[in-house]
Chains A and B, each alone.
Chain A
Amino acid sequence: MTLALSLALAFLLGLAAPALAFEGEPALYEAAKKEREFTWYTAHYDSETAAAVCKGFEKKYPGVTCNYVRTTAQVAFQRVSQDIKANLAVASVFSSTDTSHYGHMKKEGWLQPYTPRNLSELIDAFKAFNDPDGQFYATAAGLVLITYNTSLVSEKDAPRKWTDLLDPRWKGKVSIGHPGFSGYVGTWVVLMKKLYGWDYFKKLETNKPRIGRSINDTVTMLNARESWVAAGPSATTLISKDKGNPLALVYPEDGARLMVSPSALMKNAPAPNAGKLFMEYLLGKECNEIMVKFRQDPVNKTVKVPPGMKSIAQVKTIRPSYEEIDKGIPEVKELFRDTFGI
């Protein structure tokens, strides 16, 4: 074979193969193919989105099967703790929305450090949420904001800021989740307490809110017309709206609650290479393009949000620090139970 021919061949092959997403991708992909499949515990999105994200991965990396197990954050964490206690290696990648889980897992030595090459594409504002020791990285973001049913509440009557939910005209018509079940709700409660003191919830109590478990229960309550307004999540509400349900979002003037949720590679990962490849993928362009289709906020800076959705950069957001969350959630859970009786 002449040099010219082999060069031409190499050129052709280069054209046929997809562009390298990051350095070292082919080797990682080869190693992942030998592992054939991996399991991902995720609480970041609903199962429809998780299914699409997995499918996108399998399309990009044929020969590596992505098995997702979608649950709420607390259940995902319980599951992984059970596995480890039982000496079972199941999950390779773990994605929770309760950031305190990562601190605990790190302390217990359940995680393995891996610095994704694609980290350079992470939106700069989210970099602060990565672990300085390289054990977990922000791969998903979302907002807690005010939501309402448009067939019951007109745009001009809708609440504009968090304190509007205390207005007596919403008595019996407000829906919220429970911090004992949902990481999203827990951090939202911590934030409200920080902004307005516990008085906020004492006043909210007199408005007799309808309390579900997950933050997503608010979507059900609004769709059922059981509640009119809610402290709800951005993505699930928008997905439900896309289906034709009469819902709308309000970005509160006093700030939407920003949720940044990390993912991590398990130390006992049965498929460490597939796991690493998946971490790269979660930060990459393809995955984020799938995520925005399902109304998730992208974490990759090259991916734009579709019309009808504000990018996080355009929204006034606030969020407590990791320490405030770690310390705050157990405390507000008890306060919440004392105030609301459940």
Chain B
Amino acid sequence: MRWRHRDRSLLLWVLIAGVLLALVVNPLVRLLWASVHGAAGFTLDNYVTAYSRWRYLEALGNSLVLGLAVGLLCIVFGVPMAWAVSRTDMPGKGLVWAAVLGTFIVPSYLSAVAWILLAGPNAGWLNRGFMALTGAAAGPFNVYSMPGLVLVIAASSFPYMFVFTRSALDLISSEMEDAATTLGAGIVRTTLRVTLPLTLPAIMAAFIVEFLEAIALFGAPALIALPGRFQVMTTTLWQFFEFPPRVEVAAAYAMPLLLITVLLFWLQQRIIARKGYVALTGKGGERRLVRLGGWRWPLLGYCLLVTSLGFFMPMVVVLQAAFAKAWGRGFSLDNLTLHNLRFVLVDQPLTRAATVHTFVYGGVSAALALALALAIAYIVRRGLVPFGRALAYVAMAPFVIPGIVLAIGFYAAYTSPPLVLYGTAWILILAFTTRFLPIAYANSDAALRSINPELEDAVRVLGGGRLLALRRVVAPLLKRGLAGAFILVFIPATRELSAAIFLYTTGTQVLSVLLFDKSDEGNFEYLAAIGLILVLGTVAMVLAGFRLIGRDFMLRRTTA
């Protein structure tokens, strides 16, 4: 019996390992191979080229600063909001949650364009408002700076932090807090000493995700860092792809980042391993809301302020431009037109095809990534096979690879036999799956981690098999978490740019590519119109998703 079970697990392990080999290892190995190969065989010249210039090193340093600053700012933005929505009686939770979702849907390159209008040093709306109010000669805001870039990226990517922390908080029962309260701790002390520490694994996972997201972005830095006169890693990588493309140098340049990621995860494991974080025991688990009293409104204000940065304010700018004849003329009735939307929808047949592609590829990628991630997370968590942890590392590896580099790896691996995918939709779908596998994995793992194995053991003690335990106990418990994880992969897949731009062909255009092409056409009216279609389309898809799986997976089922 026992051997048969082992065999089946082993088979699954081999299957998953095979898939990961194709999705992650093969493209990476090709890149690594390229990085140490020159015309005359083995060489380290590429590394010398990649690191011999101060400019290139400085860009790496900038990326590190960017990633750390974005990660920290996201904690400031996301954790209080997650706590407010999950654990307190703050009013307007639905609104806050919708705004967070909106923030997540708006691509950071779109909000970067909007922020140029909002906080441009000479004429940004915020600066003009400040000057009008104070009579000062210049405004205080400058989007073209490292703080500007950090703010724009953090304001548009903090939803990872929010969702990770929030799902962790939702699983912590009030009993633990009650215990602290009984022992005489106040709300603040209980929150800081009991509630938040229990969410530490989630916060750390989210921090890593934010860090990697920030250093892998290409669109927002190209729009903000270049005019701000500094380079980051991705904009430097762009140089290596200029004609003649030096993929091998790019590969060499990207390699040390893998080490940093491994280091981060090792650190996370070290910290988590020292403490026990199993919080969901299946024994009751009632959750009560903290009464905030007079603090309810300031907290709501904070939530709305944060979401204004990443959602409300950029969307005002996008709406203005999408319906403007000439966006330089600002708000006025005679400046209104539907021409931009009509052009992108009717006169440019590409937009319609790209819209369909965007959502189909996004949906398929999300489903694939989730299925794969869940299988890996389960195998690893329950220790079903030896060397399971290796699978986990491989599954997390893609996040550190900038989309551009991943795309080049995919390109190198799948344009020649035995497996030719270039020119088909599959290369995009699989690249998206790979790129967002870490999000799916981190989520599945966090969700599984909080389920005590005793729950399954109970089923098995009673004579049920592992599959029965999975189906009747684990799946229902995970449902909400997984639906959330699906959305967390689907949305970034719909706005993914850096991988798409190298892998699309004429028949497989997606909206992000169309949008990015518009960003250097000087045609902000059309860009905004396409951006609006992307945002509204995603919102419609997500709302349809809620209809199907029930809205409650994001909002609390009851107010208890």
B475 contacts the other chain (CB 8 A): no
Please measure, in the bound complex, the distance between the C-alpha atom of A180 and the C-alpha atom of B241, giving whole angstroms. Answer: 10
Please measure, in the bound complex, the distance between the C-alpha atom of A240 and the C-alpha atom of B518, giving whole angstroms. Answer: 14
B347 contacts the other chain (CB 8 A): yes
Which A residues are in CB contact (< 8 Å) with B72? none
B522 to chain A, nearest CB (A): 3
A85 contacts the other chain (CB 8 A): yes
Q: Are B325 and A211 neighbours in the complex by a CB distance under 8 Å? A: no
Q: Across the two chains, which residue of chain A brings its CB closest to B334? A: A244
B122, B231, B416: the one within 8 Å of A226 (CB) = B122
Binds A, one of B11-19, B77-85, B222-230, B282-290: B222-230
Can you identify 23 A-B contacts, CB atoms within 8 angstroms? A47-B348, A47-B518, A48-B348, A51-B348, A71-B517, A85-B415, A86-B411, A90-B505, A149-B328, A173-B122, A211-B227, A212-B226, A220-B116, A220-B522, A222-B328, A225-B120, A225-B123, A225-B328, A239-B523, A244-B326, A333-B242, A342-B225, A342-B231
Please measure, in the bound complex, the distance between the C-alpha atom of A218 and the C-alpha atom of B523, giving whole angstroms. Answer: 11
A118 contacts the other chain (CB 8 A): no
Q: For this complex, into which size category does the number of interface residues on chain A fall?
A: 35 or more
B229, B347, B416: the one within 8 Å of A51 (CB) = B347
A257 contacts the other chain (CB 8 A): no
Please measure, in the bound complex, the distance between the C-alpha atom of A337 and the C-alpha atom of B242, giving whole angstroms. Answer: 14
B349 to chain A, nearest CB (A): 9
Q: Are A48 and B523 neighbours in the complex by a CB distance under 8 Å? A: yes
A residues 188-235 near B (Cβ < 8 Å) are 210-214, 216-220, 222-227, 233
A78 contacts the other chain (CB 8 A): yes
A169 contacts the other chain (CB 8 A): no
Please measure, in the bound complex, the distance between the C-alpha atom of A340 and the C-alpha atom of B231, giving whole angstroms. Answer: 11
Please measure, in the bound complex, the distance between the C-alpha atom of A220 and the C-alpha atom of B225, giving whole angstroms. Answer: 16
B524 contacts the other chain (CB 8 A): yes
Q: Are B521 and A245 neighbours in the complex by a CB distance under 8 Å? A: no
> A86-B416, A180-B239, A236-B522 given as contacts; is B122 within 8 A of A172 (CB)?
yes
Please measure, in the bound complex, the distance between the C-alpha atom of A48 and the C-alpha atom of B227, giving whole angstroms. Answer: 26
A75, A104, A216, A227: the one within 8 Å of B521 (CB) = A216
Q: Are A78 and B122 neighbours in the complex by a CB distance under 8 Å? A: no
B55, B328, B347, B505: the one within 8 Å of A246 (CB) = B328
Which A residues are in CB contact (< 8 Å) with B55? 337, 341
A67 contacts the other chain (CB 8 A): yes
Known contacts A51-B348, A172-B121, A245-B328; 12 additional CB pairs below 8 A are A51-B347, A70-B517, A82-B502, A85-B415, A88-B422, A149-B328, A181-B520, A222-B328, A223-B522, A226-B123, A227-B122, A240-B326
B residues 222-260 near A (Cβ < 8 Å) are 222, 225-227, 229-231, 235, 238-239, 241-243, 245
Q: Are A210 and B326 neighbours in the complex by a CB distance under 8 Å? A: no
B526 contacts the other chain (CB 8 A): yes
Please measure, in the bound complex, the distance between the C-alpha atom of A46 and the C-alpha atom of B514, giving whole angstroms. Answer: 12
Please measure, in the bound complex, the distance between the C-alpha atom of A332 and the C-alpha atom of B524, giving whole angstroms. Answer: 29
Q: Are B335 and A244 neighbours in the complex by a CB distance under 8 Å? A: yes
A69 contacts the other chain (CB 8 A): yes
A48, A239, A246, A340: the one within 8 Å of B229 (CB) = A340
Which A residues are in CB contact (< 8 Å) with B393? none
Chain B residues touching A, majority SS: loop
Taking Cβ atoms with an 8 Å cutoff, the residues of B that contact A are 55, 116-117, 120-124, 144, 222, 225-227, 229-231, 235, 238-239, 241-243, 245, 325-329, 335, 343, 347-348, 411, 415-416, 420, 422-423, 501-502, 505-506, 509, 517-518, 520-526
Query: Of residues B144, B325, B416, B522, which shows the largest number of chain A Cβ atoms within 10 Å of its Cβ?
Result: B522
> A224-B123, A225-B122 given as contacts; is B222 within 8 A of A213 (CB)?
yes
Please measure, in the bound complex, the distance between the C-alpha atom of A55 and the C-alpha atom of B231, giving whole angstroms. Answer: 40
Query: Of residues B55, B326, B416, B525, which shows the largest number of chain A Cβ atoms within 10 Å of its Cβ?
Result: B326
Q: Across the two chains, which residue of chain B brings its CB closest to A40? A: B506
Ordered nearest first, which 7 A-B pairs have the shortest CB separation? A219-B522, A214-B520, A216-B522, A223-B328, A225-B123, A86-B415, A244-B326
A77 to chain B, nearest CB (A): 6
Which B residues are in CB contact (< 8 Å) with A115? none
Which A residues are in CB contact (< 8 Å) with B526? 47-48
Q: Are A74 and B328 neighbours in the complex by a CB distance under 8 Å? A: no
Query: Of residues A47, A71, A225, A239, which shows the largest number of chain B Cβ atoms within 10 Å of its Cβ?
Result: A47
Q: Are A46 and B523 neighbours in the complex by a CB distance under 8 Å? A: yes
Which B residues are in CB contact (< 8 Å) with A182? 520
Which B residues are in CB contact (< 8 Å) with A214? 520-522
B113 to chain A, nearest CB (A): 8
Q: Are B120 and A226 neighbours in the complex by a CB distance under 8 Å? A: yes
Q: Are A245 and B329 neighbours in the complex by a CB distance under 8 Å? A: yes
Which A residues are in CB contact (< 8 Å) with B328? 149, 222-225, 240, 245-247
Please measure, in the bound complex, the distance between the C-alpha atom of A149 and the C-alpha atom of B238, giving whole angstroms. Answer: 31
A156 contacts the other chain (CB 8 A): no
> A71-B517, A342-B226, A342-B230 given as contacts; is B120 within 8 A of A180 (CB)?
no
B114 to chain A, nearest CB (A): 11
> A88-B422, A244-B325 given as contacts; is B505 within 8 A of A72 (CB)?
no
A44 contacts the other chain (CB 8 A): no
Please measure, in the bound complex, the distance between the C-alpha atom of A298 and the C-alpha atom of B225, giving whole angstroms. Answer: 37
Which B residues are in CB contact (< 8 Å) with A90? 423, 505-506
Chain A residues touching B, majority SS: mixed
Please measure, in the bound complex, the distance between the C-alpha atom of A295 and the C-alpha atom of B245, giving whole angstroms. Answer: 33
Which A residues are in CB contact (< 8 Å) with B521? 46-47, 214, 216, 236
A99 contacts the other chain (CB 8 A): no
Q: Are B327 and A223 neighbours in the complex by a CB distance under 8 Å? A: yes
Q: Are A243 and B411 neighbours in the complex by a CB distance under 8 Å? A: no
Which B residues are in CB contact (< 8 Å) with A246? 328-329
B232 to chain A, nearest CB (A): 10
A57 to chain B, nearest CB (A): 14
Q: Across the two chains, which residue of chain B brings its CB closest to A82? A: B411
B410 to chain A, nearest CB (A): 12
Which B residues are in CB contact (< 8 Å) with A83? 505
A84 to chain B, nearest CB (A): 11
Please measure, in the bound complex, the distance between the C-alpha atom of A47 and the C-alpha atom of B522, giving whole angstroms. Answer: 11
A49 to chain B, nearest CB (A): 10
Q: Across the two chains, which residue of chain A brings its CB closest to B59? A: A342
B388 to chain A, nearest CB (A): 36
B152 to chain A, nearest CB (A): 15
Which A residues are in CB contact (< 8 Å) with B347? 48, 51, 55
A39 contacts the other chain (CB 8 A): yes
A155 to chain B, nearest CB (A): 18
Q: Are B520 and A213 neighbours in the complex by a CB distance under 8 Å? A: yes
Q: Are B222 and A226 neighbours in the complex by a CB distance under 8 Å? A: no
B227, B242, B422, B523: the one within 8 Å of A86 (CB) = B422
Which B residues are in CB contact (< 8 Å) with A342? 225-226, 229-231, 235
Q: Across the two chains, which residue of chain B brings its CB closest to A338? A: B55
> A46-B523, A216-B522, A341-B230 given as contacts; is B325 within 8 A of A243 (CB)?
yes
B98 to chain A, nearest CB (A): 29
Please measure, in the bound complex, the distance between the C-alpha atom of A113 and the C-alpha atom of B142, giving whole angstroms. Answer: 52
Which A residues are in CB contact (< 8 Å) with B525? 243
A178 contacts the other chain (CB 8 A): yes
Q: Are B520 and A211 neighbours in the complex by a CB distance under 8 Å? A: no
B112 to chain A, nearest CB (A): 12
> A180-B238, A216-B521 given as contacts; is B506 within 8 A of A69 (CB)?
yes
Q: Are B116 and A224 neighbours in the complex by a CB distance under 8 Å? A: yes
Q: Across the two chains, which residue of chain A brings its CB closest to B527? A: A220
Q: Across the two chains, which residue of chain A brings its CB closest to B513? A: A71
Query: Of residues B227, B327, B524, which shows the largest number of chain A Cβ atoms within 10 Å of its Cβ?
Result: B227
Q: Are B325 and A213 neighbours in the complex by a CB distance under 8 Å? A: no
Which B residues are in CB contact (< 8 Å) with A101? 243
Which B residues are in CB contact (< 8 Å) with A173? 122
A residues 81-115 near B (Cβ < 8 Å) are 81-83, 85-88, 90, 100-101, 104
Q: Across the two chains, which residue of chain B brings its CB closest to A226? A: B120
Which A residues are in CB contact (< 8 Å) with B327? 223, 245
Please measure, in the bound complex, the distance between the C-alpha atom of A213 and the C-alpha atom of B525, giving whole angstroms. Answer: 18
Which B residues are in CB contact (< 8 Å) with A180? 238-239, 242
Q: Are A341 and B229 neighbours in the complex by a CB distance under 8 Å? A: yes
